């Protein structure tokens, strides 16, 4: 080898593992792995290729090391994260920003050299006594314009096993490329307790060095903090998309069936626990992805692909009635990793699954029984609200056959949805691309949920449901979206959805399954099959079009009273929402494009005109 990295790699890697590295003929890769080895000082290094033998090894090791525990159903295992490591941790996830560079105030950041010193100090010697697993993976379909090669060095076989399910194996892709750029992650669980769970939550750090496309993660095992290709790499992908003129989005992809056997593809952005996965997996429709999508304009057509090949999904409230497809996968033999559920007699239990939960068992807190409290005196639930399941998309009966298409799928509609209890109607369509992106995407307001560490129920703007991950100025990100739509000959329609609108008594105006009707209405709108009513905030459905949809999709009647309650325009609440949105963009988005304020001002004028009819205007009076 004759290079600076030679001695480090020869000391830790046997001939077989070293050979699997050298054949890739990528000096930047060898340098990265050698640096990770020298930094973390593992006893041995396992370099994984794409063989079934290697896939099976990482699966078996996850159990042998105790990071996963086999369950009664064949192929099912459970992993527990620490009691203080149950979600994405905003406070300790930071961008490494070189001195003198300016980042949006909304982004968590630390000066690069100081941050590198801190995170590398925590990783120093962190893998002693363990094996470093070197994984090669690909974001996007293999051999595609959407493909991004990635490598992760981790000491967690649970993390490695999760990557088997969530991504395309990429060793052969690295071999084919023989060089080129790639994303990099170094992760260590840090000190672990007797249950093989990260023990130093106070030293948890997830730092992103965007200058070198590198993610560092330590003292954590929760998937969103450790699987570098999830939201961590999304931050890097957004920067690459910005440079290259495409979009990386926090969105699901699904195929919606319409009249005559047609299938129409939609993307959707929802903050965690706001209905994203349940929408993507509606029965009778097809799913391409539930989390991260890439958009490109190819030959004048907007096309989309799933960055991932699996699902790391919230399991709370998954039940056979509302989520039959995923429930089927979670209850039959097959490869599934459960995390932070309750386990009793080899069976997993989660909140909202239906039926009574056991009064005791094992969960993320250890041995658990009803009434157990944490160190702060709060009751510990049987399972965590953010408990998860990890499966391959191909395990789902409704996995779309175009999942691995090298050209992605044609995109006809984009939807944005959050938890808005007071203002927006359940479904509406933007007047044009700009209005939809600004009024629904850049104005996305939601309440914080259990999927993010911190307080729940706090209203906040979550721009495009991607605000936590945007590693470019937010205003530039909004402009990129607006300009991207103009590249397509026929941009997708943009919709706003809100499953969480409440009435005066605080009750939800929507049933849990109503979302399927809203999605079917959107599909009809894309093809011009139904008309709509022009409301101040967008096009809304006509009552006579929803009645047959409720009957055909849900097999239930739909009353005029329900329609009025759901689609009445709440003028004061919408004006207050506009004020919050404008304040956010004026104070948090220094480079907000002028068109944003113009579109919001037009919406205010329409609402003020509507106010002449009253504060609460029935859709029948529009």
Give yes or no for a contact between 154 and 133, defined as CB atoms under 8 angstroms apart.
Answer: yes
Both tokens of residue 311? 């699902």
Beta partners for 216?
186, 207
What pLDDT band is residue 1 in, cutting at 50, 70 and 90?
Answer: very low
Residue 77 lies in a domain: no
- What value does the mean pLDDT take over residues 203-216? 94
What pLDDT band is residue 451 in, cutting at 50, 70 and 90?
Answer: very low
Give yes or no for a contact between 378 and 231, defined as CB atoms under 8 angstroms apart.
Answer: no
Asked if residue 11 has pLDDT above 50, the reply is yes
488 and 525 in a single domain? The answer is: yes
- Round to whole Å and give the CA distance between 173 and 138: 8
537 and 616 in a single domain? The answer is: yes
Q: Calculate the CA 538 to chain-centre distance.
A: 27
Asked if residue 272 has pLDDT above 80, the reply is no
For residue 441, the domain's CATH number is 3.90.228.20
Both tokens of residue 52? 């079934």
- Round to whole Å and give the CA distance between 263 and 409: 11
Closest among 80, 46, 60, 265 to 155, alpha carbons compared:
46
- What value does the mean pLDDT take over residues 179-187? 90
- What value does the mean pLDDT take over residues 512-538? 97
Residue 61 lies in a domain: yes
pTM of the full structure: 0.93
- Round to whole Å and give the CA distance between 84 and 365: 10
359 and 387 in a single domain? The answer is: yes
| DSSP three-state, residue 344 | strand
Q: Which residues contact 163 (CB under 8 A, 6 or more apart)?
A: 135, 137, 152, 227, 229
For residue 59, the domain's CATH number is 3.40.449.10
Per-residue b/e over 295-316, b at no fewer than 16 CB within 10 Å?
bbbeeeebbbbbbbbbbbbbbb
Catalytic residue numbers read 274
Residue 174 lies in a domain: yes
Last residue of a domain, one of 366, 394, 422: 394
- Round to whole Å and give the CA distance between 552 and 517: 9
Asked if residue 460 has pLDDT above 90, the reply is no
> pLDDT tens across 104-143, in order?
666 788 999 999 999 999 999 999 999 999 999 999 999 9
Residue 81 lies in a domain: no
135 and 10 in a single domain? The answer is: yes
Closest among 423, 421, 360 to 570, alpha carbons compared:
423
Asked if residue 453 has pLDDT above 80, the reply is no
331 and 292 in a single domain? The answer is: no
> pLDDT tens across 322-334, in order?
888 899 999 999 9
Q: Rounded to whole angstroms, what are the CA distances from 269 to 138, 443, 494, 564, 595?
A: 22, 12, 11, 26, 22
- What value does the mean pLDDT take over residues 263-281? 90
The mean pLDDT of the chain is 94
> Domains in the chain: how many in total?
3
> pLDDT tens across 144-159, in order?
999 999 999 999 999 9
Give yes or no for a contact between 250 and 292, defined as CB atoms under 8 angstroms apart.
Answer: yes
Q: In which domain, by residue range, is 319 found?
A: 312-394
- What value does the mean pLDDT take over residues 93-112? 83
Residue 76 lies in a domain: no
575 and 593 in a single domain? The answer is: yes
């Amino acid at each position: 080898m004759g290079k600076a990295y030679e001695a480090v790699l020869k000391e830790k890697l046997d001939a077989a593992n070293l050979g699997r590295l050298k054949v890739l003929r990528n000096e930047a890769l060898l340098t990265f792995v050698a640096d990770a080895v020298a930094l973390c000082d593992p006893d041995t290094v396992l370099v994984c290729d794409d063989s079934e033998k290697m896939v099976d090894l990482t699966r078996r090791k996850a159990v042998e090391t105790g990071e996963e525990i086999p369950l009664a159903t064949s192929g099912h295992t459970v992993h527990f994260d620490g009691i203080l490591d149950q979600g994405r941790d905003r406070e300790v996830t930071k961008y490494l920003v070189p001195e003198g560079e300016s980042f949006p105030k909304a982004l968590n950041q630390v000066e690069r050299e100081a941050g590198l010193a801190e995170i590398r100090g925590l990783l120093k010697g962190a893998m002693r006594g363990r094996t470093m697993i070197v994984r090669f993976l690909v974001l996007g379909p293999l051999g595609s314009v959407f493909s991004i090669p990635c490598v992760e060095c981790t000491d967690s076989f649970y993390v490695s096993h999760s990557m088997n399910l969530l991504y395309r194996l990429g060793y052969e892709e690295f071999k084919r490329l023989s060089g080129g750029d790639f994303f990099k992650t170094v992760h260590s669980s840090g000190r672990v307790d007797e249950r093989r769970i990260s023990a130093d939550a106070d030293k948890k750090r997830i730092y992103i060095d965007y200058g070198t496309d590198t993610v560092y993660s330590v003292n954590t095992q929760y998937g969103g903090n450790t699987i570098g290709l999830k939201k961590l790499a999304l931050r890097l992908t957004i920067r690459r998309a910005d440079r290259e003129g495409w979009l990386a989005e926090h969105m699901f992809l699904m195929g919606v069936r319409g009249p005559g056997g047609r299938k129409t593809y939609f993307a959707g952005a929802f903050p965690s626990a706001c209905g994203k996965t349940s929408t993507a997996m509606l029965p009778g429709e097809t799913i391409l992805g539930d989390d991260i999508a890439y958009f490109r304009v190819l030959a004048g057509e907007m096309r989309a692909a799933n960055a991932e090949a699996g699902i790391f999904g919230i399991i709370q409230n998954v039940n056979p009635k509302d989520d039959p497809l995923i429930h089927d996968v979670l209850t039959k033999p097959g490869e599934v990793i459960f995390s932070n559920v309750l386990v009793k007699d080899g069976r997993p239990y989660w909140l909202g699954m239906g039926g009574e939960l056991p009064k005791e068992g094992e969960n993320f807190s250890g041995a658990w029984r009803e009434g157990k409290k944490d160190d702060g005196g709060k009751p510990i639930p049987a399972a965590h609200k953010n408990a998860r399941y990890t499966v391959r998309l191909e395990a789902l009966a409704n996995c779309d056959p175009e999942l691995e298409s090298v050209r992605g799928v044609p995109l006809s509609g984009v939807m944005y949805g959050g938890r808005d209890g007071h203002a927006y109607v359940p479904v509406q369509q933007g007047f044009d691309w700009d209005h939809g992106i600004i009024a629904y995407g850049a104005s996305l307001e939601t309440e914080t949920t259990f999927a993010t560490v911190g307080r729940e129920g706090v209203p906040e703007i979550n721009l495009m449901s991607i605000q936590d991950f945007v590693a470019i100025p937010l205003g530039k990100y909004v402009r990129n979206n607006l300009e991207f739509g103009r590249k397509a000959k026929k941009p997708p329609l943009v919709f706003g959805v809100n499953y969480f609108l409440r009435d005066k008594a605080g009750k939800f105006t929507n049933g849990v399954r109503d979302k399927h009707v809203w999605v079917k209405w959107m599909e009809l709108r894309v093809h011009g099959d139904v008309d709509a009513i022009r409301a101040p905030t967008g096009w809304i459905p006509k009552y006579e079009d929803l009645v047959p949809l409720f009957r055909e999709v849900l097999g239930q009647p739909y009353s005029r009273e329900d329609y009025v309650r759901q689609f009445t325009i709440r003028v004061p609440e919408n004006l207050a929402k506009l004020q919050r949105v404008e304040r956010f963009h004026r104070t948090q988005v220094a480079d907000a494009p002028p068109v944003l304020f113009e579109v919001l001002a037009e919406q205010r004028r329409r609402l003020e005109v509507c106010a002449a009819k009253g504060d609460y205007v029935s859709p029948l009076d529009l």
